[in-house]
Structure 1
Amino acid sequence: MKQIEVVAAVIRKGDKLFATQRGYGEWKDWWEFPGGKMEPGETPEEALVREIREELSAEISVDKYICTVEYDYPKFHLTMHCYWCSLKDEAMHLNEHEAARWLRQGELDSVKWLPADVMVIEAMCSVD
């Protein structure tokens, strides 16, 4: 099975978390924490800063490790390293995603999360 290693940024602002909706591919319209594939030689933190810059035209600080999720999707195995992050400024632009929302903890179940991201939400409760 194909192996994919990615990073995800759980961006916090006050009591809200930033969620993005995929605008392409097999999982179009599902929600996720922003991030993407690591490039050879990158640390997870370096990959996160680069990916968020590419996807959202935003600058973040990578604050704290949350967890690494291992999940078998039908066509690949995903390893996803997840971190609490914060914005360095308020400027953001959706370059790849269809939509985005700031969600409070009690609103997280109001969107259809990708399966691996559901595991991140479960892990956040024990690490926060």
Structure 2
Amino acid sequence: MTKAPILVVAGVLTDGDSILITQRFDSEGGLWEFPGGKVESGEREPDALARELWEELEIRVKVGVYLTETLHHYPTKSILLRSYRCEQLEGDITLHCHQAKAWVTQSELDDYLFSDADKPLVELLKRK
């Protein structure tokens, strides 16, 4: 029997023409991603995303429109990644779960090595 995928949400925060990306610690591969995290049992996706961005970055956000989802199978688990546009309402970004952050333009997204689950979102954002 196959395990159900882990539901994960990611936020796409923008500042003018720039998009926020975060880098995992080297012990987790050092890959870049859009910040977010797991949806807990019984939690609504927008609530989970707002909670995760507070826990990871110490920012309050308004979760906006749904963008896309990606189902990715890793060797030990499957991830269903659902992404949303977000607007930062308050707070200064403080990294708790990442080693770095970057504000990048659409054309600069190709300069970063993203996790496999995030790559379809990268492609979507490059077209918008």
Deviation at 1:68, TM superposition (A): 1.2
Letter of the 2:29 counterpart: K
Deviation at 1:122, TM superposition (A): 1.9
Matched ranges for 1:1-128 at <5 A:
1-2=2-3, 3-23=5-25, 25=27, 27-89=28-90, 91-125=92-126, 128=128
2-side partners of 1:65 and 1:115: how far apart? 20
**Kindly, what percent of the aligned residue pairs are identical?**
36
CA contact (8 A) 1:18 1:102 kept: yes
Q: Secondary structure at the match of 1:41?
A: coil
Letter of the 1:17 counterpart: I
Deviation at 1:90, TM superposition (A): 5.2
Letter of the 1:50 counterpart: R
Deviation at 1:125, TM superposition (A): 4.8
The one-character-per-residue Cα deviations of 1:92-122 (angstroms, maximum 9, x if unpaired) are 1001101000000110011111111111122
Q: Which moved more, 1:45-54 or 1:71-80?
A: 71-80
CA contact (8 A) 1:59 1:87 kept: yes
Stretches of structure 2 that go unaligned for 5 or more consecutive residues are: none
Q: Secondary structure at the match of 1:12?
A: strand
Stretches of structure 1 that go unaligned for 5 or more consecutive residues are: none
CA contact (8 A) 1:61 1:86 kept: yes
CA contact (8 A) 1:66 1:124 kept: no
Runs of 4+ off more than 3 Å = none
CA contact (8 A) 2:106 2:126 kept: no
1-side partners of 2:48 and 2:106: how far apart? 26
TM-score (norm 1): 0.91
Deviation at 1:28, TM superposition (A): 2.3
Number of residue equivalences: 126
